[in-house]
Amino acid sequence: MALAERVETQPERPASLAARVVDWIRRRSGVKLSLVLGPGAFWLVVFFLIPLGVVLAYSFASRGAYGQVIWRLTLENYTRFFDWLYIRVFLVSVWIALLTTVICLVIGYPFAFVMARVPRRWRNALLVLVMVPFWTNFLVRTYAIMLLLRNEGLINSALRWLGIIEQPVTMLFTTFAVVLGLVYGYLPFMILPLYASIEKFDFTLVEAAQDLGANTWQVFTRVMLPLTMPGVVAGSILVFIPSVGAFVTPDLLGGGKVVMIGNLIQQQFLTVRHWPFGSAVSFVLMAVVLISTMAYFRVGGERRV
Amino acid sequence: MGRTADVELRNVSKVFDNSVVAVDDVSLEIEPGEFFSLLGPSGCGKTTTLRMIAGFEMPTSGEIYIEGRPMGETPPFRRNVNTVFQNYALFPHMTVAENVAFGLRMKRVPRDEIARRVREALQLVRLAGFEDRYPRQLSGGQQQRVALARALINRPRVLLLDEPLGALDLKLRKEMQLELKHLQMTVGITFIYVTHDQEEALTMSDRIAVMNAGRVLQVGTPLEIYERPSSRFVADFIGESNFLEGRVTGLNGQQVTVVIDDRVPVPARAQDGLAVGEQVTVAIRPEKIRLRPPGMERTDGCVRGRVEEVVYIGTDTYYLVRLTERCTVRVRVQNSQNRLDSGEAVGEGAEVLLSWVPETAMVLKA
């Protein structure tokens, strides 16, 4: 039936060029697929994979006397990294990022829980509260934290006025300040995936567990936490990865006293002009993030539902 | 029965925050080993009543006693009751065995005893061999059984079931009804069963409490509830009933006469406190009415009418018979003979005589 129709109608109406092109695309699934995936793939190749390849190539090159890249292949950039000076920077970065992640999780989980449980109209208000910081530039917000933490800042002034302290407490340019800034900056990335997970959680399971004799703590550890693990994993990764590579926050709030791996990379590229070593450090960072993320998925994500 | 009731509710009320009265002054006594149903339409307060017994909701006033002890604010995990939830509420991240073992693990029962009791519980619900499956790999009926095993393994004094068969299809539901009843008799635990399905309640229960708008209207055995409904709501909600409104004209021992529309006298079962001249409703079930062709009048209790509609439903035939201008009754006659061979016994428009045993017609005060 359909075949007969086509035979009859085709010679009568010569299709327009556009119609013929559309028809050709329709018949070729390969063409259709590349049209759908094409733009994204193009973007990834041109702006991610090629630069990544360039950086990888640089990491095996050498530095000239004036900071230019010389194509003399060497592994020196990588071996040089295994100096206690750099290892220490690296360990400090991982420690600060872990601390940031754990604090975000501890603050974010109760917040996301409340957000998922309150009536809908309150839920949107809380969601806006989480999003509001994004409306202001990150740099401006970081400077605002500096104003709060300075020796003559709001917090020290208030404490002195209340007579709690006599000498100002040094808060700015410490690890504390860096962690505070990172927690402040990345908390929404923890809250949103947690909220998505908890919102989907079936709360009759809490009643079922209570009914079977579980107390509040057991309900949380045996039922609620395992079932919201995907949110915990996603949130932790979204906070840990940018934290471990952060350079603006440690730069401003750490004031050069807290050096993280991001600062090291930035220094090598912009100040020291040792691009090959900067590239090598970037790749070490990438490898570590990749390995730790995969390990975390293994441990945290194995009992996905 | 002399013994303490397993569960007792004394003047229990529940008012929610939005000032909705969900349960209104309910008092019940549920005996040990009883299969007790809370029956009523949705929103009648039956589930809230169950949740208060379980400890998920606290009564606004009144007291709940379990095994004679007042529960007060006792949390669910300290009550000797277990619940089977409407949607089963199985833990999706645990296997069948882990789900069933959950309650015992919370009580820190030794490992080998848990293993033995899990095996027994799964055998009891005929799910041996399913230990390592996850709930999502089971059918609705199988999930239902896991939920039962998970509750029963704790050997509660009372098992609470909240419309546990609601999500199953009709055929499976009928099977599970019998299986549940059988299981209850095997384990000897008190069951409190919430349902809106009157047939389910009649099939399984030792006693039923019919609820509406937060109140208990009648408590009794299935037989009592069906044959002696105490209110129009109960007579209408459980099974079918014809309601004939009229006035009492005669009292004669076991029997009263009620005149419908000032013209048609009908007989009904006598009841205390009735007076001549009182306005009442007579409730009579369609299957209690006999239908005969005219010319066979007996002296007492025959009512003349005209057939308006005949509906054949397989097992039975329904006749809609008009008695007066304002009053019709539905009559249900069992098709004991082959209707194809015997032909249409009584057709539309035919004059018929209706009669019933006076004891089967209930007088409800209007």
User: Does residue A278 sit in the same domain as residue A150?
Assistant: yes
Strand-strand pairing, B81-84 and B158-162: parallel
**What is the reported pLDDT for A274?**
92
CB contact under 8 A, A210 and B75: yes
CB contact under 8 A, B102 and A214: yes
User: Does residue A52 sit in the same domain as residue A92?
Assistant: no
Is residue A141 included in any domain, yes or no? yes
State pLDDT tens for residues A235-248. 999 999 999 999 99
Residues of chain B with pLDDT under 70: 1-3, 296-301, 339, 341-345, 366
Residue A197 · residue A232 · CB < 8 Å: yes
User: Does residue A102 sit in the same domain as residue A170?
Assistant: yes
User: Where a domain ends, among A6, A33, A59?
Assistant: A59
- Asked whether the predicted pLDDT for residue A6 surpasses 70, the reply is no
**What is the reported pLDDT for A87?**
92
User: Does residue A195 sit in the same domain as residue A52?
Assistant: no
Question: What ipTM does the predicted assembly reach?
Answer: 0.82
Contacting residues of B for A222, CB less than 8 Å apart = 102
Is residue A72 included in any domain, yes or no? no
Is residue A98 included in any domain, yes or no? yes
- As for how many domains chain A has, the answer is 2
Contacting residues of B for A209, CB less than 8 Å apart = 91, 102
**What is the reported pLDDT for A28?**
79
CA distance B29 to chain A (A): 22
The percent of residues in chain A predicted with pLDDT above 70, rounded, is 93
Residue-range definition of the domain harbouring residue A32: 19-59
Is residue A258 included in any domain, yes or no? yes
CB contact under 8 A, A305 and B89: no
Tell me the average pLDDT of chain A: 87
Candidate ranges A1-10, A146-155, A186-195; pick with highest mean pLDDT? A186-195
pLDDT grade for A213, boundaries at 50, 70 and 90 = very high
Is residue A282 included in any domain, yes or no? yes
User: Does residue A179 sit in the same domain as residue A120?
Assistant: yes
**SS (HEC) of A138-185:** HHHHHHHHHHHHCCCCHHHHHHHHCCCCCCCCCCCCCHHHHHHHHHHH
**What is the reported pLDDT for A14?**
60
- Asked whether the predicted pLDDT for residue A304 surpasses 50, the reply is no
Give the A-side interface with B, CB within 8 Å.
202, 204-205, 207-215, 218, 222-223, 226-227, 303, 305
User: Does residue A195 sit in the same domain as residue A283?
Assistant: yes
User: Does residue A92 sit in the same domain as residue A240?
Assistant: yes
For residue A52, the SS3 value is helix
User: Does residue A44 sit in the same domain as residue A108?
Assistant: no
Structure tokens at B87: 């949607």
**What is the reported pLDDT for B344?**
59
**What is the reported pLDDT for B365?**
79
User: Does residue A28 sit in the same domain as residue A93?
Assistant: no
Is residue A3 included in any domain, yes or no? no
CATH no. for residue A134?
1.10.3720.10
CB contact under 8 A, A210 and B93: no
**What is the reported pLDDT for A219?**
95
Minimum mean pLDDT range among A27-31, A68-72, A206-210, B32-36: A27-31
Sequential DSSP letters for A105-121: HHHHHHHHHHHHHS-HH
Is residue A8 included in any domain, yes or no? no
- Asked whether the predicted pLDDT for residue A9 surpasses 80, the reply is no
User: Does residue A223 sit in the same domain as residue A297?
Assistant: yes
User: Does residue A50 sit in the same domain as residue A150?
Assistant: no
CB contact under 8 A, A210 and B77: yes
Neighbours of A203 (CB within 10 A): 12
**What is the reported pLDDT for B341?**
67
CB contact under 8 A, B76 and A211: yes
- Cα(B116)–Cα(B156) distance, integer angstroms: 18
Is residue A254 included in any domain, yes or no? yes
**What is the reported pLDDT for A13?**
59
User: Does residue A116 sit in the same domain as residue A24?
Assistant: no
Residue A33 · residue A27 · CB < 8 Å: no
pLDDT grade for A193, boundaries at 50, 70 and 90 = very high
- Asked whether the predicted pLDDT for residue A5 surpasses 50, the reply is no
- Asked whether the predicted pLDDT for residue A3 surpasses 50, the reply is no
**What is the reported pLDDT for A4?**
45
**What is the reported pLDDT for B342?**
63
- Asked whether the predicted pLDDT for residue A182 surpasses 60, the reply is yes
